[in-house]
Structure 1
């Protein structure tokens, strides 16, 4: 395994850990200030402040089941658990999270709820 792949795995795992903890300061250190994001509400570029709002609004806990990484990219197969404000479970699903990591920072993050995706028309 090459150094880029190792760095990508370590950064993505740390990102998930910090996200689960809602540690916005820690996330800001390993997230590009222009994070390209694909999620259930669409596609866009968000900054650290918007990232914090997104993390809070989602109230999501992720547990990684499998990971597939090469160079700057990693796909995590995860059990997602969405929580209500009182920490009761709102919903659960298997999700697929894709990261692009460059120089120890997440520059791209996409979350999908289906394994088979049509990426282009």
Structure 2
């Protein structure tokens, strides 16, 4: 595995950790000032303030099951648990999160319901699975 892939994996895993902790300061340090975001409610470019609002609104905890990575892209297959304001469970599902990392900064993030869509966007496939 090349150095770029290792940096991508480390950055994405740190991003998920900060997201689960709702550590907005940490997220801001490893997220580009203009993050391209694709999710179930649409697509766009958001800044750090909007990222914080999105993290708070989603109230989502992610646990990674599988990782696929190569160069600047990583796809994480994850158990997602959405919480209500009182931390009771609102819903659960398997999601596929795509990151593009450049110079240890996340500049693209997309969430999909299936691996095929995530692979199509990232250019990755099953052969890029990290053991």
TM range (shorter): over 0.9
**Where does residue 40 of structure 1 map in the other structure?**
40
Q: SS where residue 116 of structure 2 aligns?
A: coil
**Where does residue 57 of structure 2 map in the other structure?**
57
CA RMSD of aligned residues (A): 1.4
- Structure 2 gaps, min length 5: 122-131
**Where does residue 113 of structure 1 map in the other structure?**
113
**Where does residue 69 of structure 2 map in the other structure?**
69
Q: Distance in 1 between matches of 2:116 and 2:29?
A: 32
TM-score when normalising by structure 2: 0.89
- The structure whose residues are more often helix, as a share, is 2
Q: Distance in 1 between matches of 2:72 and 2:84?
A: 34
Q: Deviations over 1:13-45 (max 9, x none)?
A: 000000000000000000001000000110100
TM-score when normalising by structure 1: 0.96
Structure 1 residue 117: Cα displacement: 3.1
Q: Distance in 1 between matches of 2:70 and 2:116?
A: 20
Structure 1 residue 114: Cα displacement: 2.1
Structure 1 residue 113: Cα displacement: 1.2
Q: SS where residue 101 of structure 1 aligns?
A: strand
- For structure 1, which segment, 82-91 or 111-120, has the greater mean C-alpha deviation from structure 2 after superposition? 111-120
- For structure 1, which segment, 111-120 or 42-51, has the greater mean C-alpha deviation from structure 2 after superposition? 111-120
Aligned pairs (5 A) from 1:99-110: 99-110=99-110
- Structure 1 gaps, min length 5: none
Structure 1 residue 116: Cα displacement: 3.3
